[in-house]
Amino acid sequence: MLNTCKLASHFTKLCVCDLLVAQCDVNCCCDPDCSAADFSLFTTCSVPIVTGDSRLCSQKAAIYSLDVEADPPERIFKLIDQVNPSVFCIHATNYKQALSFSSPEMPASENFDQLLKQFGNPSFSAEPDSWNMNTDAPNPSDYGVPIQTVDAFLRLPSPVVSSWCSDVNPAGFLVNQATKCTRSVSVEKCGNIQAVSMLFYINSSILVNITVQSIVVQSLNGMRTLLNGSDVLRLPLILDELCINIVLRVSYHITYTDAGEITEAAASFVLGAINKEVRSIQQSFEISFTQVNTKPVPLSGNPGYVVGLPIRAGFRPQGYPFPPLTQTLLDLLKGQSFPEYVASFGNSQAQDVLDWVPITHLHTSEQRIYNTFQSSCQIPVSLEIEVKWTKYGSLVNPQARIVNVTATITTTTLPSGRERTIPIISSVVFTDISSPAEPGYKAWPTINAKLPFDFFFPFV
């Protein structure tokens, strides 16, 4: 930036100010070669204040002026903190080039993995100053919604940036989690550390009270003992230079109805002891969910399937009117209870009927020519399963969704004569039928303007 100083004789000289450090060179007002006696030629500086980026909430400002009445004249320089009154200002930035970013690269299927590796991280935002307690109770479709308690939300401590525990991570509804983190402790202060006390994990009510299901005590050498009574609250206590009853592990188990109402909440604890040499401990936390009157089935994604996790399926009793040999071979290929439906998503629930895809069954016959007489008995020799899936949702975070499953049974004629070895084959193939991603554009706004019926009166 050029700082222009006005001369009394109606001509100007220029000097340069450095905005990056928010201050100017020693003789910036007037001229780099000006001496104190030369200041009398100047009246004022045309740029009396130099600041950094105006979008910052607080910034350094350099103020320049000339005292021409002093003998000899002198330049006056002050460095002050200037406050931006705008409510949309930038409070802090930890990257010097943050205020001059170029247009970000838009995610696409080709560069998504690269951008996720570059910018993705597992950290959570800080806990807000206040919680919105008007949130409706979660329902089966609200996966991941924080579980509400009387005062806030159920917290599941986890590591954030480092391995140290952060207690502001909320537990998500229907999201099974298992975390481990490190906690700083000492024998002298163990009674004052809330996060190593059982009370810290059961004093919040999730619309129902959290009951203690079991307590296991672990000694210094690692031996564990299950206590008979689980209704006893054991708090950290200093005993013979040891601190006992420190929480090492917490396991929550939540029971809910098909309407999303939490009916039971239980917690199991593992308590341990530390001596004076120990300065930190590792804590483990788990949470699991079970629907009332159902067997727990682990989720395979949330919502889309995760590669490597099993496909969720629905079973119903059925029988096959086949001879014993045929039935035996079918049991080998399909199992004792072959499913009739599969879940579209990895977190589909049994009560959501539209989320389940029926399995299409096909039968083909394989003709083989044998030297001996052929029998009329058809036996199954292969099972081929084809799972068609598609990418569902936004391009930024596509979810795997199953749209069709076909099970093809191939039969052949049982050869007559002596006993023969029959190869039995089963296979599964996954086919991606996703349509190419296309950019979407918002429609241009339309103007729906209507004139009054007498607008052109009396001309028309």
> How far is residue 242's CA from residue 220's CA, in Å, rounded to a whole number?
10
262 plus 324 within the same structural domain: no
Looking at the fold, whether 231 and 332 belong to one and the same domain comes out as: no
Residue that finishes a domain, picked among 49, 83, 117: 83
* DSSP symbols for 332-369: HHH-SS--SEEESSTT--TT-GGGEEEEEEEEEEE---
For residue 122, whether the previous peptide bond is cis, meaning omega lies within 30 degrees of 0, is: no
Of 257, 291, 325, the residue that ends a domain is: 291
Residue environment code for 384-412, b if the CB has 16+ CB neighbours within 10 A, otherwise e: bbbbebbbbeeeeebbbbbebbebebbbb
How high is the pLDDT of residue 82? 83
Among 249, 258, 247, 311, residue whose Cα is nearest residue 289: 258
Q: How far is CA 68 from CA 15, 25, 33, 45, 46, in A?
A: 19, 20, 17, 12, 15
Q: How confident is the model at residue 34 (pLDDT cuts 50, 70, 90)?
A: low
Asked if 206 and 279 sit in the same domain, the reply is yes
The total of structural domains in the chain comes to: 3
Output the pLDDT for position 375.
56
Q: How far apart are CA 370 and CA 377, in angstroms?
A: 14
Asked whether residue 248 falls in the same domain as residue 205, the answer is yes
Whether residue 411 sits in one domain with residue 355: yes
Percentage of residues of the chain with pLDDT beyond 70: 74
Q: Is 256 in the same domain as 344? A: no
Q: Judge if 261 and 331 occupy the same domain.
A: no
Same domain, 287 and 165: yes
- 190 secondary structure, DSSP code: G
Q: How confident is the model at residue 407 (pLDDT cuts 50, 70, 90)?
A: very high
Same domain, 238 and 174: yes
Candidates 355, 357, 350, 339; CA nearest to 297 is: 350
For 104, the token pair is: 């970000």
Mean local confidence (pLDDT), 333-342:
84
Q: Which of 402, 372, 445, 449 is nearest to 304 (CA)?
A: 402
Q: What domain range includes position 405?
A: 313-432
Nearest one of 365, 281, 363 to 320, comparing CA atoms? 363
Same domain, residue pair 414 and 365: yes
Residue 148 lies in a domain: no
pLDDT tens by residue, 43-58: 777 667 777 777 788 8
Higher pLDDT pick, 325 / 15: 325
Query: In this structure, are 188 and 264 located in the same domain?
Result: yes
Q: Assess whether pLDDT exceeds 70 at residue 214.
A: yes
- Whether residues 330 and 287 share a domain: the answer is no
